[in-house]
Amino acid sequence: MRKEESEIIRRFCNICLPKKQVACSPAIVLSVVLFVALIESTVVTPLFAAYSKEVQAADERGNRIPDFSHCGYMGQKEPVPDVPVRVVVSPARGDNTQRIQTAIDYVAGLPADAGGIRGAVLLLKGRYEVFGSLKMSASGVILRGQGMGGSGTVLLAAGSDRRTLIRIAGRNDRTDLPGKSYRIIDDYVPVGAYSFHLDTTGGAEGRR
């Protein structure tokens, strides 16, 4: 850590922490980093660079902290497309599970365009009580709301049981062709690994 960074963190701790506070918790350390980002952007850059190196570093078994910085549509490399609305659903009293699911299933049955998009289900602003679970099993279907916060679209998992409110799952249409299955022969594949070994690569050349 550079001298300038240490001085900023020391000043922050002197201001924000009780005089008897000795150790900093992870939450306090995070607050320090955010504080530095606000007042010294030129100093915090190497701090985050050092953090990034720690994330990429592997432990003794090769495990790495998963990097979710590329999550999102097309790895955040392309803007989210303006998908046309195919069905509009308005809130109703009572259980809205079947109404929303029917709309999702309808759009899932529509043909996909060249980009793989089928369309969006628009939930108008309001409160939707869902006593069951909603399932999205087809690609190219977007579930869209209106607005943010309590004045926008609110999905409420009603009831007292624990369940997944929205389940996103692919179709169970995988087939294993004879001679086209490959067995991983590594005793252990680390978290975040970029490669592993197979018992054979016959017929796999050029595949990703």
Q: pLDDT tens digit string along 116-160?
A: 899 999 999 999 999 999 999 999 999 999 988 889 999 999 988
SS (H, E, C) the chain: CCHHHHHHHHHHHHHHCCCCCCCCCHHHHHHHHHHHHHHCHHHHHHHHHHHHHHHHCCCCCCCCCCCCCCCCHHHHCCCCCCCCEEEEECCCCCECHHHHHHHHHHHHCCCCCCCCCCEEEEECCEEEEECCCEEECCCCEEEECCCCHHHCEEEEECCCCCCCCEEECCCCCCCCCCCCCCCECCCCCCCCCCCCCECCCCCCCCCC
Pairing verdict, β 119-123 and 141-144: parallel
- Domain-wise residue ranges, the chain: 3-56, 83-168
| Residue 40 confidence (pLDDT) | 47
pLDDT at 202 over 60: yes
Tell me the whole-structure pTM to 2 decimals: 0.57
| Residue 178 confidence (pLDDT) | 66
| Residue 14 confidence (pLDDT) | 58
pLDDT at 101 over 70: yes
Average pLDDT over residues 75-96: 91
Query: Please, what's the b/e burial string for 153-190 (b: 16 or more CB within 10 A of its CB; e: otherwise)?
Result: bbbeebeeeeeeeeeeeeeeeeeeeeeeeeeeeeeeee
pLDDT at 39 over 50: no
Q: Residue 22: which pLDDT band, with cuts at 50, 70 and 90?
A: very low
Q: Residue 45: which pLDDT band, with cuts at 50, 70 and 90?
A: low
pLDDT at 9 over 60: no
pLDDT at 193 over 80: yes
Q: Which residue has the higher pLDDT, 80 or 118?
A: 118
pLDDT at 56 over 80: no
| Residue 36 confidence (pLDDT) | 47
59: tokens are 């432990």
CA–CA gap between residue 73 and residue 79 (Å, rounded) = 8
Nearest CA-CA partner of 194 in 58, 23, 41, 31: 58
Q: Residue 107: which pLDDT band, with cuts at 50, 70 and 90?
A: very high
pLDDT at 24 over 60: no
pLDDT at 6 over 70: no
